[in-house]
Structure 1
Amino acid sequence: MCIREVSTGEESDNEMQNQDQNKSQDESQYSDVQNAVLNSEVIPDQVKTKIRKVIDKYTERSNIKNADTSNNEKKINLQPEKETDVVAQTVNNIKIFTDFTTKYWETFKQSNAYKILFRTTQPAHVIAIIAVLCIVSAVVPRSDDKVNNANESHSKVLSLIYLTSFILHMGSQFWMTFVSGLSLYFALPKRNFSEVQRVLFPRYFTINACFSITTLIIFLKYHAFHTWDTEIAIQVSALFTALFLELVIRLYLTPPLVGLLSAKVAIEKAAGIGTKVGSHNLGPLENCPHYVKMNRAFRKIHTIIAIGNILTMVCTVIHLNYLAGKICF
C-alpha cells in the first residue's frame, strides 16, 4: 500500500519563508565578502577597480532579473483579480443605482403626490378609463379603414412586438403559477413566503396587464371591426377578458391584499409563528379574533385573485390555440 504525504498550505508557506531567509543570508554573506575585498589594503587599486566594475555589472543584471520576475508575478497574481473586478464593479454599479433609486423613492413616498397616487382610488379609476379608451379607439374604425384594409400589409415590427408580448405574458403566467409559486411555497417558511408574495404580486399583475393591452391593441389594429367573424370575436373577447381581469386585480384587489399581508407578517413575527415550511399553524393566534378576521379576509381576496389568474390563463390558451391554427410551415 502506498501512502502519500499531502502538504498543507502552512507547510508551503514555511518553505517559502525558509527560502527567503536563506536568500537573505546568502546576500548578507556576499555583501560582507565584497566589502572585505574592496577594503583590503593588500589588493592593488587597479584590481579593486576591475572587481568593482564586475560587481556593478552583476548587480545590475541581478536587479533587472528580479524586476522582471516581480513584474511577471504581479501579472499572474493580478489577472484573476481583474477578471473578478469586472463582476464586482458591475455589481457595485448596480448597487449604487439601486441605492440612488431607493433614496429618491423613499423621499417621494413622503410627498402628497405619492399619497394621492397610491393611497386613494382615483388614480386606479383614471388608469382603467385610459385603458378602455385605448381599446375603444382601436376598435372604432377610421374613415379610410375599409378602403385600405385589403391592401394594408402587416408591419414586421408590430408583429414582433405582438408575438413577444403574448409569449412573455403566457410564460410569466405559467412560471408564476406552476413553478415559482409552488416551489417557493414548499421551500420557504410560511412567513417568508408571504413576504415574497407581497413583493411579487403587484409586479406580476402590472407586467401582465401591460402585455395584455399591447397584444389586444395590435390584434385589433390588424382586424378591423367590420371584418370580424365569429372566430375573431372570440379572440377579441378572450384578450379583453384577460386584460379586464388583470386590471381589476392589479388596481382594486392587490393593494388590500398587500396591506393584509404586511399586517399578518408583523403579527406573526410578534407571536413567533409562521416558521414552518408548507404549512401554517395559528398557534397562540388561533383564539385572537382580530387575527382570525384578518386571515379570513386575506384568504377571501387571495382566492378571488387566484380564480381570476386561472381565468386569464384560460383566455391566453384560447388565443394560443388560435395562433397555432394560423401557423404555416
Structure 2
Amino acid sequence: MKGPVPLQDSMASDTEPSNTIKLLHLLFLSTSWGMQVWVTFVAGFVMSRHLPRHTFSSIQSQLFPYYFHISSTCAFLNLTLFAMSHPSERLGEEHTAQIIIFLTCIAACVLNSAWLGRVTAEAAAELQRLESGHGPGGEPGSSESRRRLRAAHPGYRQLARRFALHHGLSSLCNLLCMACNGLSLHRLAAQLAAL
C-alpha cells in the first residue's frame, strides 16, 4: 500500500502549464529572439553596407517602431504566461530569476519603444535634412563629406553626437533584450527531455 503523495509533488503537478501555454510561451519567445537576431545581425549590416545612408535611415525609422512594439508585446506576453503558470506563493529562486529577466526585457523594450527609438529617429531625420543641403547621405557607409561637414558646422557635430548617444543607448537596450531572451531560451533548452 502506497502512502499519501507528498504535498510538494502534488503542488508541482497542479501548476504544470498546459501544452497550449507552453506552445504560446515558446512561440512568443522564439518570435522575439528570431526577429532580434535578424534585425540586429543580418538586415542592419546588409542594409548599412549596400543602401545609401538616407535610404537606410528612412527604412529604419519606419521599421523600428514595429520592431520595438512587437518585442515589447512578446516580452509582456511571455511574462504574463510565465506568471499564470507559476503562482507567486510557489515561486522558487529560479522562477524569481526568470521573472526578473522578463521584467528587464520588458523595461528595455518599452524604453526603446516609448523614447529612445523615437528620439533616435528624430535626430537621424534632422541629420538627413542638414546633410541633404550639403551633399552627404547618398552613399553607403562612411563618407569624407560628412567629416568635412562636421568640421565646418558645429551644429551638425552636436547633432551627430546626440544621434550617436541615443543610437548607442537604443542598441544597448536591444542587446539587453537579446541577452534576456537568450537566457530564457537557455532555461527552456535545459528543461527539454528530448528534441
Is the alpha carbon distance of 1:161 and 1:225 closer, same or farther for their aligned partners in structure 2, counting shifts above 3 Å?
A: same
Residue number in structure 2 paired with 1:221:
84
1:285 to 129, 142, 149: 149
2:179 to 310, 314, 318: 314
Residue number in structure 2 paired with 1:212:
75
- Give, in whole Å, the separation in 2 of the partners of 1:226 and 1:326: 22
- Deviation by residue 1:69-111 (Cα, 9 ceiling, x = unmatched): xxxxxxxxxxxxxxxxxxxxxxxxxxxxxxxxxxxxxxxxxxx
298-307 or 149-158, which moves further after superposition?
149-158
Please say if 1:324 is aligned against 2:189. Answer: yes
Residue number in structure 2 paired with 1:184:
47
Deviation at 1:156, TM superposition (A): 3.0
Residue number in structure 2 paired with 1:175:
38
- Deviation by residue 1:27-80 (Cα, 9 ceiling, x = unmatched): xxxxxxxxxxxxxxxxxxxxxxxxxxxxxxxxxxxxxxxxxxxxxxxxxxxxxx
- For these two proteins, the number of residue pairs brought into alignment is 183
Deviation at 1:276, TM superposition (A): 2.2
- Deviation by residue 1:97-147 (Cα, 9 ceiling, x = unmatched): xxxxxxxxxxxxxxxxxxxxxxxxxxxxxxxxxxxxxxxxxxxxxxxxxx9
Unaligned runs of 5+ in 2: 1-9
1:255 to 107, 118, 128: 118
The code of the aligned residue for 1:310 comes to: L
Please say if 1:302 is aligned against 2:163. Answer: no
Residue number in structure 1 paired with 2:60:
197
Q: What pairs up with 1:85-124 in 2 under 5 angstroms?
A: none
Deviation at 1:159, TM superposition (A): 2.4
- Please say if residues 16 and 85 of structure 2, whose CA atoms lie closer than 8 Å, have aligned partners that are also in contact: no
- Deviation by residue 1:227-283 (Cα, 9 ceiling, x = unmatched): 222211111111110111110111121221111111111221221211222213315
Please say if 1:273 is aligned against 2:139. Answer: no
Residue number in structure 2 paired with 1:238:
101
- Please say if residues 273 and 283 of structure 1, whose CA atoms lie closer than 8 Å, have aligned partners that are also in contact: no
Q: CA RMSD in A?
A: 1.8
Unaligned runs of 5+ in 1: 1-146
| Structure number, greater radius of gyration | 1
TM-score normalised by L of structure 2: 0.87
Deviation at 1:317, TM superposition (A): 0.9
Residue number in structure 2 paired with 1:117:
none
- Give, in whole Å, the separation in 2 of the partners of 1:222 and 1:326: 16
